[in-house]
Structure 1
């Protein structure tokens, strides 16, 4: 090998090696090179850590708790609607006035007058039922929206099972708070998939549109399972989560519950 070496000490050359087989002369070592003679590639940012998977039973139980609240609300609305229809039937002065008006319009045709009164009562009852279903869907949406926005992503079921709805993490791993638009989208999709389409099918059935009611019921069942099945598989993100850009993750316990006791 060609080149001059530096002073030799007790244990060999000290520093300042000369050019050896094409390497530049000089003391010490230059920047590390890879085998191709180029500097190594700069380190890349690692992907955001994946969210811990939520157990299927926790997700399912949280949904059951929230759906039980919706069913309880449906029972209350059903009782209220029943009393409204009963009050309509026993409203003797109003019914008598309606019957007299129908009798005057029928020119003495009692059958026609009776049909008019019965049609009026039926339309009023159908209207009451439709209003109850509409109120159920709206209240379900308001419950989901208010819980996600005001309770920091926790409905009653998710709070009891230690879960919360949050946004997808950024590339650096940080997760921003749930925005109002995301809460509205997720609440709307949840209300439609769980209650809205079924309520529409029931309204069509009460109105006499049997074929449309059957089609709407089939669509409601398909949408319900399309929203529920992904929440139990893979990334545990339901159809509502995918539309809103959210995810369901376990809630971290406060430090006072996770910090171990100091050993003496």
Structure 2
């Protein structure tokens, strides 16, 4: 029975948002493939080409946090869901501003003009929302593993880093949304970037757990779907761009949290 005191989310609205989310990814990947196979397609688009490239990306970056919010709103309510949105976005924004300004904690990098406009001329406005969305999904998955609170925080932060394994070569090398100022070991990315990702993710997830009292007594059904569809975007970009090694490594990394979840379920079933 539905709790009348908790907000509800229309299954149709969630399905439509997931559809737009997946559609924006498919549109972008098909467009990239067409421009590589048939370069003359770009000329046919004419002055509309920049918008045809940017609009699906903006839709993707808006749909992702909307999905995370809708997934957790019924269980967490407006106050805790709103706190997570603000906290995750704020910490992500501050980390990105510090990173683009000082090189810490991710290494020296800067964003290209593709996702303009930028906060203080450094960080695209929609980037902080991605920190919130993916960290919320990561903690959701970690919370299903029967871990202690401290273990959940560390696991969710690790899942964030695993998501970045495909993201960074896709957005830093294949289709540069940001550029590294020093040559790193993994498709131009320095190793310190993952250290920075892990530390920032710990701060974000710590806030969700200790300040936002994150609890999911009835875990949402579509978290795994959102995780997989979201991860398919950078993996697809790597494939279309010929970075097959990055795509393979990224796919394995993306699946590790889900394999841990499946192993946990199997253990629970065997014990039960």
Relative to the length of structure 1, the TM-score reads: 0.30
Is the helix fraction higher in 1 or 2?
A: 2
Q: RCO higher in 1 or 2 (8 Å CA, sep ≥ 6)?
A: 2
- Largest Rg, 1 or 2: 1
